[in-house]
């Protein structure tokens, strides 16, 4: 009979080992899947995990792309992780991401075609504000009326998507495009663009901000009283109340910071890699970031690594489609399996496995 | 097997001395916004990709990436595709316009073909699109003849020129054969959401509409029409033959194959040039699917005649006199709309009730 | 504004059809959450049900078998979730999201070759006598079997939770798994059953989309319906009857905005499309404000990991 025994402390060894094991398990299971589809399994796995990083043909391009793809994921996930630790569920980062992009782009476009150094900083502030504002709706409804924040933040994603469509077709549409949807390209408007800062690295302001957020969150959680309150609330709400944590303030703070960071991510994306507001500007970053947050075990450094791993499966997955003709659906299943294995094997870091003869669980 | 052995093998097989240039395999890449299995837009692009493979056989290799979101992801996928050494890349959605031009600037030796856009910043970018509105004139004629309630429904995706052009074209043609016809437009704000399209079709049917036209890609409206009975519709983007002979009485098919084959041929011959193509029924880029027996013979003949006229280039659906919705004159008698106005069309013609959103 | 042109009879009839997928998924998820488990993978289970139901119906020519397959495969997907969260104690939020990702990929893979195929039609079941009542007959009593089944399910779940011992145990597990465990209940086994019931319902909801409401198979055709179902559960504050209200309200708004367009009533379309979501939020706020600050409504053990340490 197998049974689990809780470790007094999560095992450091297994925390480090489980992701590696999970990746190996996914490679095996994924390889079987690819083989069943009639594709060479070893080559497929190599294309996904190795080529974007080390292939002569692609790596020079793909490596910076990993950071570009991972940047917004990490930035959003860091914000979400603070709330998740305290049991505050913001599922609507996608909506806050969209609103950040709309606000940021609107400010930039309002100045067009003027060139000035202060435009980009203003856009950053506007983007952060847009995301924050969108997150304040569930925050205030929760603190004032006790309305569930999961529901409100999630439904607001759909509202934001409709606003985005309306903006791309209406208020923010490029007047020079003769009726076609989509805004002007911000990346071609010097004062409003978010360019690559160091050539060939892929690092733009958004990626840099993501790194800063990782460090900031690390310090907040380990050194600051607010971080202590977050961790305490997550562990035991009652204990937190005895330690005179103000739960309403915590809700406002956690939702606010996650909305703000998601808004920033959207703003950096719209002014940089994406360049413009379009009908389908959002590509699911807000939802994928939730997965990244959990993959990283809600730990800032873990989120950094998880974000890059997730980006690797996207970039490598595309390569596998181009090179081997793997269907996109197979890549999706592959990603799902990776998550399952990571989550499943996590049990090893928190529990010991005991074998007992004939016992009853 | 490396490229050299392939080349040697091919040369031997041909048994004649051919220049290496002519023998090199041309690689064509495709970027899809959906999956080939969407049964509509991407499906037709993929059919045409397969047609390229079938036509050229071993002389061509194709590859594609599906479900590529518009924006930075598209740019990355195109770049990676260019890095693998493809010769020509077809990017098959309007939203890829900026990305296509950005990547094209970085790879001057790779040809880029962007569907439905207008931006050609570098000499290695071409744009191509189809005059779907010509097809809509044909089905608009059938719709006008077939409706008994004189109410035609139109499911619109987004209020953009492409869609508005289709609404105007089908309305004008329907009105021509049936002056009492009324057009009901429903905007669903999506290209592809079968459930929402089904609801929209149901709402139209409940209102007494008995012919449904759609500018969205799923077969849901046809299924609803089949369910209701006595309602007809048309295949959109692909043939949707599963619903023939009724409710699907005909269809507008996007047939990219002739264009794709031509462009790949141009790459092989070294004659590829940056162009802007806007083809319709005359070149076969827009095809009208089989008109079923549910359509009376005289109506079918009328539709066939219209197709013949457009093939011959003697008829354009936007030929004056046509007024705008507000009653102001748009085209004088005999005047034909110019492509610029058509490309940016943002108004309804006279007779259509309702406002264009935004 | 002239609303007289909106025909109430067809509006109600259409909204019942439009609401049924989310209704089915939501009532299943309610049972899951009542047992103290949050499964965010509803979308993934729904889309899996949509394709397996479609495949089953096409293969056998019978929609009944289709729905059966859909329920089984939904339960199978849920089993995967249950195994990870209940036996391997993984995080429920993350596992649910992973399930959605997995389900979308799996369905797309299974569905290759099923596009454009026409499924066997699900017959309408006119209830004798009742369907002949003028107006009301067409509104309420002239639907297919699944519409009635979804309503019966609501009543059954309500009765089960309210009157039966099984319902009491389920709620006890959801409120405090430690107490329930101390009383000798098999917490994990009960939760597994609830999770699989939820999966089966989500599968049915998906199949209703692909076999009745649309009906066709298309990649990603649930288009967020699973998320709406999750929202409806919270909206309903975990009360079965309110699931019905929430789902019909949401479906009603969706249908109504299309009908307003058809009737040419001048309201801005792009904002109308948002209406179902905004109104759901507003109703939710009013309901929670009326209840006062002390009320939570959620099962106390929701998302908490259970591990019997003795």
pLDDT tens digit at each of 358 positions of chain B: 344 444 444 434 443 333 334 457 999 999 999 888 777 889 899 999 999 999 999 999 999 999 898 878 899 999 999 999 999 999 999 889 989 999 999 999 999 999 988 889 999 999 999 999 999 999 999 999 999 999 999 999 888 888 999 999 999 999 999 999 999 999 988 877 888 999 999 999 999 999 999 998 888 899 888 888 889 999 888 888 888 888 999 999 989 999 999 999 999 999 999 999 999 999 999 999 999 999 999 999 999 999 999 999 899 999 989 999 999 999 999 899 998 889 889 899 999 988 888 6
Please state which CATH number belongs to domain C8-118+138-291: 1.10.3470
Would the CB atoms of A332 and C108 count as touching at under 8 Å? yes
What residues have CB less than 8 Å from C41, skipping those under 6 apart? C77, C78, C81, C95, C96, C97, C98, C99, C100, C103, C226
Kindly tell me the sign of the dihedral angle through the C-alpha atoms of C70, C76, C80, C81. positive
Q: Name the residue facing C218 among B38, B153, B202 (closest C-beta).
A: B38
Would the CB atoms of C258 and B203 count as touching at under 8 Å? yes
**Cβ-count burial A222-241 (b if 16+ within 10 Å, e if not):** eeeebbbbbbbbbeeeeebe
Alpha helices in C111-184 (DSSP H): 136-140, 145-163, 165-175, 177-182
A333, pLDDT greater than 70: yes
Which residue, C202, C149, C184, is CA-closest to C33? C202
Q: Where are the domains of chain B?
A: 21-130, 132-255+285-343
- B188 and B204 in contact (C-beta within 8 Å)? no
Q: Where are the domains of chain C?
A: 8-118+138-291
Over range A219-237, report the average pLDDT. Answer: 83
Q: Tell me how far apart the alpha carbons of residues B221 and B204 are, in angstroms, rounded to a whole number.
A: 10
State whether ipTM is beyond 0.90.
no
A68, pLDDT greater than 70: yes
Which residue, C266, C230, C246, C281, is CA-closest to C39? C230
**Which residues on C lie below 8 Å from A340 (Cβ)?**
80, 84, 95, 98, 102
Which residue, B260, B238, B262, is CA-closest to B251? B238
Kindly report which listed range (A4-8, A59-63, C269-273, C281-285) carries the lowest average pLDDT score.
C269-273
What's the Cα-to-Cα distance from B349 to each of B155, B178, B356, C227, rounded to whole Å?
Answer: 17, 16, 11, 40
Interface test with A, best of B35, B41, B46, B65 (most A CBs within 10 A): B65
Q: Tell me how far apart the alpha carbons of residues B24 and C10 are, in angstroms, rounded to a whole number.
A: 63
Kindly report which listed range (A163-177, C211-225, C282-296) carries the lowest average pLDDT score.
C282-296
The angle at the Cα of B64, spanning B58 to B70, to the nearest 5 degrees, equals 155
A37, pLDDT greater than 70: yes
Q: Give the model's pLDDT for residue B4.
A: 42
Which residue, C28, C25, C40, C75, is CA-closest to C225? C25
Q: Tell me how far apart the alpha carbons of residues A85 and A313 are, in angstroms, rounded to a whole number.
A: 26
Mean pLDDT of chain C: 87
CATH architecture of B21-130: 3-Layer(aba) Sandwich (3.40)
B331, β-bridge pairs? B322
Q: Give the model's pLDDT for residue C5.
A: 65
Task: Say whether residue B194 is in contact with chain C using an 8 A CB cutoff.
Answer: yes
Would the CB atoms of C98 and A287 count as touching at under 8 Å? no
- B341 and B168 in contact (C-beta within 8 Å)? no
Residues 313 through 332 of chain A touching chain C, CB cutoff 8 Å: 327-332
Chains A & C: contacts with CB separation below 8 Å: 144
Q: Give the model's pLDDT for residue B14.
A: 40
Over range A236-253, report the average pLDDT. Answer: 83
Q: How many CB atoms lie within 10 A of CB B239?
A: 21
* 3-class DSSP state of A129: helix
Residue A231 binned pLDDT confidence (cut-offs 50, 70, 90): confident
Which residue, B127, B123, B122, is CA-closest to B96? B127
Over range A139-168, report the average pLDDT. Answer: 89
- B307 and B138 in contact (C-beta within 8 Å)? yes
Q: How many CB atoms lie within 10 A of CB A78?
A: 32
Q: Tell me how far apart the alpha carbons of residues A78 and A300 are, in angstroms, rounded to a whole number.
A: 6
Q: How far is C273 from chain B (nearest CA, A)?
A: 8
- A283 and B69 in contact (C-beta within 8 Å)? yes
Distance from the Cα of residue C244 to its chain's centroid: 10
Indicate yes or no: pTM above 0.90.
no
What's the Cα-to-Cα distance from C232 to each of A166, B169, C227, C244, C246, rounded to whole Å?
Answer: 26, 42, 9, 9, 6
Q: Tell me how far apart the alpha carbons of residues B56 and C140 are, in angstroms, rounded to a whole number.
A: 59
Q: Name the residue facing B187 among C214, C259, C269 (closest C-beta).
A: C269
Q: How far is C5 from chain A (nearest CA, A)?
A: 27
- List residues of C whose CB lies inside 8 A of any B CB: 7, 10-11, 14, 17-18, 21, 108, 111-118, 121, 209, 213-216, 218-219, 221-223, 225, 254-255, 258-259, 261-264, 266, 268-270, 273
Which residue, A334, A284, A273, is CA-closest to A73? A284
Element (H, E) at C124: strand C124-126
C129, pLDDT greater than 80: no
In terms of CA atoms, which chain A residue is nearest residue C38?
A150
In terms of CA atoms, which chain A residue is nearest residue B165?
A179
Q: Give the model's pLDDT for residue C299.
A: 80
Chains A & B: contacts with CB separation below 8 Å: 99
Please state which CATH number belongs to domain B132-255+285-343: 3.40.50.2300
Strands of chain B (E only): list them: 26-31, 60-65, 88-91, 111-115, 125-130, 151-156, 182-187, 211-214, 232-237, 248-254, 276-279, 286-288, 322-323, 329-331
- Which of A185-194, A252-261, A287-296 has the highest mean predicted lDDT (pLDDT)? A252-261
- C152 and C204 in contact (C-beta within 8 Å)? no
What residues have CB less than 8 Å from A242, skipping those under 6 apart? none
Which residue, B15, B321, B38, is CA-closest to B175? B321
B4, β-bridge pairs? none
């Amino acid at each position: 009979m197998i049974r689990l025994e809780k470790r007094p402390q999560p095992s450091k060894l297994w925390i480090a080992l489980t992701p590696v094991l999970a990746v190996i398990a996914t490679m095996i299971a994924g390889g079987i899947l690819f083989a069943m589809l009639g594709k060479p399994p070893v080559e497929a796995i190599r294309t996904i995990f190795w080529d974007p990083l080390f292939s002569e043909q692609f790596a020079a391009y793909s490596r910076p792309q990993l950071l570009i793809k991972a940047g917004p994921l990490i930035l959003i996930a860091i914000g979400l992780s603070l709330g998740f630790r305290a049991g505050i569920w913001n599922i609507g980062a996608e909506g806050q991401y969209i609103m950040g992009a709309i606000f940021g782009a609107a400010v930039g476009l309002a100045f067009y075609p003027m060139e000035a150094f202060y435009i980009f900083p203003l856009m950053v502030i506007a983007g952060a504000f847009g995301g924050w504002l969108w997150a304040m709706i569930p925050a205030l409804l929760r603190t004032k009326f006790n309305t569930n924040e999961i529901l409100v933040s999630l439904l607001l994603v759909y509202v934001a998507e409709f606003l985005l469509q309306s903006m791309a077709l209406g208020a923010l549409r490029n007047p020079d495009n003769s009726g076609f949807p989509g805004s002007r390209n911000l990346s071609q408007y010097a004062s409003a663009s978010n360019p690559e800062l160091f050539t060939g690295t892929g690092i733009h302001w958004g990626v840099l901000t993501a790194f800063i957020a990782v460090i900031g969150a690390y310090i907040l959680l380990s050194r600051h009283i607010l971080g202590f309150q977050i961790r305490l609330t997550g562990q035991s709400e009652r204990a937190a109340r005895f330690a005179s944590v103000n739960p309403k303030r915590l809700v406002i703070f956690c939702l606010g910071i996650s909305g703000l960071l998601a808004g920033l991510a959207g703003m950096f994306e719209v002014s940089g890699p994406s360049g413009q507001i379009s009908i389908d500007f959002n590509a699911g970053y807000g939802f994928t970031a939730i997965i990244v947050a959990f993959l990283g075990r809600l730990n800032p450094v873990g989120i950094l690594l998880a974000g890059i791993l997730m980006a690797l499966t996207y970039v490598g997955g595309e390569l596998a489609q181009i090179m081997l003709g793997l269907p996109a659906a197979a890549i999706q299943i592959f990603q799902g399996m990776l998550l399952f294995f990571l989550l499943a094997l996590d049990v090893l870091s928190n529990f010991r496995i005991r074998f007992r003869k004939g016992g009853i669980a | 097997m490396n490229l050299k052995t392939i080349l040697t093998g091919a040369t031997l097989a041909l048994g004649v001395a051919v220049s290496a240039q002519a023998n090199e395999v041309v690689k064509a890449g495709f970027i899809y916004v959906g999956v080939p299995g969407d049964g509509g837009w991407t499906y037709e692009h993929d059919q045409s990709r397969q047609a390229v493979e079938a036509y050229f056989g071993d002389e061509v290799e194709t590859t594609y990436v599906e479900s590529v979101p518009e924006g930075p992801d598209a740019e990355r996928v195109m770049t990676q595709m260019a890095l693998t050494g493809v010769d020509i890349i077809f990017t098959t959605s309007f939203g890829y316009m900026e990305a296509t031009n950005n990547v094209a600037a970085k790879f001057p030796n790779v040809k880029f073909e962007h569907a439905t856009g207008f931006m050609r910043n570098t000499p290695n970018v071409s744009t191509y699109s189809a005059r779907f509105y010509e097809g809509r004139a044909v089905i608009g004629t059938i719709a006008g003849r077939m409706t008994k309630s004189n109410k035609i429904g139109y499911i619109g995706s987004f209020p953009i020129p492409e869609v508005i052009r289709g609404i105007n074209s089908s309305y004008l043609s329907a009105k021509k054969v049936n002056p009492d016809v009324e057009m009901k437009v429903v905007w669903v704000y999506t290209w592809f959401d079968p459930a929402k399209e089904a609801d929209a079709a149901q709402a139209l049917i409940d209102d007494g509409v008995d012919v449904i036209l759609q500018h969205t890609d799923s077969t849901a409206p046809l299924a609803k029409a089949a369910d209701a009975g006595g309602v007809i519709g048309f295949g959109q983007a692909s043939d949707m033959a599963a619903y023939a002979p009724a409710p699907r009485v005909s269809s507008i098919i996007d047939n990219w194959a002739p264009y794709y084959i031509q462009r790949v041929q141009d790459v092989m011959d070294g004659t590829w040039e940056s162009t802007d193509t806007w083809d319709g029924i005359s070149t076969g880029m827009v095809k009208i699917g089989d008109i079923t027996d549910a359509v009376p013979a005289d109506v079918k003949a009328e539709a066939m005649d219209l197709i013949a006229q457009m093939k011959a280039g003697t008829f354009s659906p936007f030929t004056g006199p046509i007024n705008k919705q507000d009653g102001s004159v748009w085209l004088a008698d005999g005047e034909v709309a110019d492509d610029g106005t058509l490309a940016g069309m943002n108004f309804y013609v006279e007779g259509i009730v309702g406002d264009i959103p935004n | 504004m002239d609303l007289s042109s909106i025909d109430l009879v067809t509006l109600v009839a259409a909204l019942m059809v439009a609401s049924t997928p989310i209704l089915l998924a939501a009532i299943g998820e309610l049972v899951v959450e009542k047992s103290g488990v949050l499964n965010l993978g509803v979308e993934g289970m729904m889309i899996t049900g949509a394709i397996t139901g479609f495949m089953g119906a096409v293969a056998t020519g019978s929609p009944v078998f289709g729905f059966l397959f859909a329920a089984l495969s939904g339960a199978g997907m849920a089993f995967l979730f249950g195994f990870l969260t209940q036996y391997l104690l993984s995080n429920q939020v993350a596992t649910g999201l992973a399930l959605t990702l997995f389900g979308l990929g799996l369905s797309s893979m299974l569905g290759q070759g099923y596009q454009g195929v026409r499924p066997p039609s699900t017959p309408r079941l006119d209830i004798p006598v009742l369907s002949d009542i003028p107006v009301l007959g067409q509104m309420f009593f002239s639907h297919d079997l699944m519409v009635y089944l979804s309503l019966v399910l609501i009543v059954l779940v309500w009765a089960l939770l309210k009157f039966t011992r099984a319902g009491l145990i389920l709620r006890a597990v959801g409120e405090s798994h430690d107490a329930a465990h101390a009383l000798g209940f098999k917490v994990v086994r009960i939760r597994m059953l609830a999770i699989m019931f939820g999966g089966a319902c989500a599968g049915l909801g998906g199949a209703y989309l692909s076999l009745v409401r649309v009906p066709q198979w298309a990649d990603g055709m649930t288009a967020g319906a699973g998320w709406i179902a999750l929202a409806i559960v919270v909206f309903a504050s975990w009360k079965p009857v309110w699931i019905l209200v929430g789902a019909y309200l949401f479906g009603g708004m969706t249908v109504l905005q299309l009908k307003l367009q058809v009737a040419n009533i001048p309201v801005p379309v792009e904002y109308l499309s948002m209406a179902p979501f905004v109104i759901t939020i507003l109703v939710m706020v009013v309901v929670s404000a009326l209840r006062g600050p002390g009320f939570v409504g959620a099962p106390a053990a929701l998302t908490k990991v259970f591990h019997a340490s003795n």
